[in-house]
Chain A
Amino acid sequence: MWYLCVFYHRLLDYRKPELESLADLFGAFGDRPCFEFDNRGNSLEWRLPKHHHPDSPFHFVDLPSQDVARNVANRSILVKGIYELWGEGSNYEELEEAVKSYPDEQKLPYLTSDSTFKIIVDSFGKVISLQEQNNRIRGLTYIPFKGRVNLKNPDHKFWLIETENDITNSGLPPVVQRRIFFGREVGSADRKLLPMYQLKSRTYLGPTAMDAEMAFLMSNQAQAAPGKLVFDPFVGTGSILVSAAHFGAMTMGADIDIRVVRDGRGPDCNVWSNFKQYGLPMPIALLRADNNLPPWRPGLKEVFDAIICDPPYGVRAGGRKSGGRKLLKGVVDPYIVPDEKRADHIPSTAPYSLAECVHDLLDLAARMLIMGGRLVFFFPVLREDDSGEYHFLEHPCFKLVAASEQILSSRYSRVLLTMVKTCSYTEELAEAARIKHLEFKENHLKWLEDSNLHSSVFSPADVSSADAKIRKESKPKYRGKYV
């Protein structure tokens, strides 16, 4: 059945993937195991309203049932509402005709005298005054509403949504023709979560704590849900796991920095307290471990339902791995930590290149995720070759189902990748990963130089690249985080 889906006008790349991940979570694709993709993948059918741009917040989506539609909308972060469309038109006459011809058996059950209702007038690209809103509601008398009005807690919410003719100058996507929609609300995002979980009221924060909205989106991409186990190998202050725990998942986190996971900023300001603050169940495990040398027992595999993380890619925070910096550089000879100093020895760490970090992450995920499990992580891209198409890493165990870009500066973006495990981890893959691990270790310096994102992002601008800058701005501004 086709529904009208209206999105919040932000994070445009994230809207459809979120809805599709949730549709999969709530069974829109049937009992078929989610890793058995056909060529279409597990994606939904979408349509645009007449004369609308793909960046428009208005879409039509085909969902199997009203229950799926409601569950998806209520759990989402970016869906303003999913509506059963009763009619649409370019003007109010057309709308009236459309609503009148919409079958009575669909309408009447929601118009009964024992129900309560509310009509909301909304607009995109313009403001409708209260007076005009009331006039528009009065114009709907051709619909036989029998119920009582209840503004606070109605049984049924009806929406009258208008878009303006030409709003190109407001930084919004071009909507060529005025369109008016009337529909019954099936579900809508609970945006109240965002102020509740906003970072500024969180006790324990780190420099790269994940913003609440993005953390929820990541957990939706990962399909976090009760009974599932979610792992974050770069847990930091736990900001991503908080969102997974909110959706009922069991959580587990590791970090190489013991001060972050163990100590925080005192007994009431640490990773645990971040969960306590929201009354969420504590992570079932926090440990200090190195993503480069994970301490999982041999034979352990397919335990996590999802791995969600924001790997350190060296722009705001750099990754570290075991092994002394000087040791890996070859400046000092290998040395043995004396026995009497072992207990209190603080092992030195070396910088961890992005390429190696992501290689390790994919290998870990290939081994530790269940079939159909999801790996959701951010990957940085330089916008120099901004052709709109990026090529991401591939792994034989995974299928990439979504790549959502968020522009961070004129130089770089981060892309949220969602990968589904579709093949099991074999001995050959393990062996190939082991060889690659040694190769990284031997060519430590080369990898560090090759993947130095920090200098690309922060080095002074090259004057001759002025024309490149124009190209960079080619993507409309509203595609970024804020409209």
Chain B
Amino acid sequence: MRLLTHNMLSSNIKGVTNGFPLRIEAEKVVEKQVEINHDFLRNIFPKIEWKAFVDASRILGYAELPEEAPEPSVLESDHEFLGKFHHALLELHIEEGALVCPETGRKFPINKGIPNMLLHEDEV
């Protein structure tokens, strides 16, 4: 599971109001190279919840991203930043671990890189 996915998901258990961001418990993190695509990064950048994204990248041991979300114009001028953004967004994988609901502590397991977001019967 990439951090892009983490940035899009929340706990949708019935009654939970603040299910985002999910806390990351990473047991196994791998890096997988992905070809950089500028158009894609430009499109997705404004959709990212920056704080959750930076925090998640730090948990995975990657501390190169700025605390504050930069202006979108940086994507055009700063190739170094673009590379870092790309790396954190798409190349860091949580292979095994869990996403934890911040409100209830319910664990959504990540197994073979696939987060299991299905709810139990009593959570629907």
Contact = CB atoms under 8 A, between A and B. Distances in A.
B26 interface: no
B1 interface: yes
Interface string B80-124: 000000000010000000000000001100011111111111101
Contacts of B49: 297, 299
B118 A227 contact: no
Contact of A286 (B4, B42, B114): B114
A345 B2 CA distance: 25
Given A262-B111, A262-B114, A284 B121 contact: no
B10 A296 contact: yes
A252 to B, nearest CB: 8
With most chain B CB atoms within 10 A of its CB, the pick from A297, A327, A345 is A297
B120 A229 contact: no
A293 B122 contact: no
Contacts of A342: 106, 120
Contact of A295 (B4, B10, B47, B122): B10
Given A226-B39, A297-B8, A345 B117 contact: no
B114 A296 contact: no
A242 interface: no
Contact of A258 (B9, B106, B114, B120): B114
A327 B37 CA distance: 46
Nearest to B47: A303
B118 A290 contact: yes
A281 interface: yes
Interface size, B (range): 35 or more
Contact of A250 (B1, B20, B38, B40): B40
B8 A300 contact: yes
Interface string B1-32: 11011011111100000011100000000001
A347 interface: yes
A284 B122 contact: no
A14 B115 CA distance: 36
Nearest to A303: B47
Contact of B117 (A226, A252, A289, A335): A289
Contacts of A324: 121
B121 A228 contact: no
Given A262-B112, A297-B10, A324-B121, A343 B40 contact: no
Interface of B: 1-2, 4-5, 7-12, 19-21, 32, 34-35, 37-40, 42-44, 47, 49, 90, 106-107, 111-122, 124
16 contacts: A226-B37, A227-B43, A258-B118, A281-B35, A284-B2, A284-B90, A287-B115, A289-B117, A296-B8, A297-B8, A297-B9, A298-B10, A303-B8, A334-B121, A345-B120, A348-B121
Given A258-B114, A300-B47, A337-B122, 18 more contacts: A228-B40, A229-B40, A258-B116, A285-B2, A286-B114, A287-B114, A289-B118, A293-B12, A293-B124, A295-B117, A298-B10, A303-B44, A334-B121, A334-B122, A347-B118, A347-B119, A347-B120, A348-B121
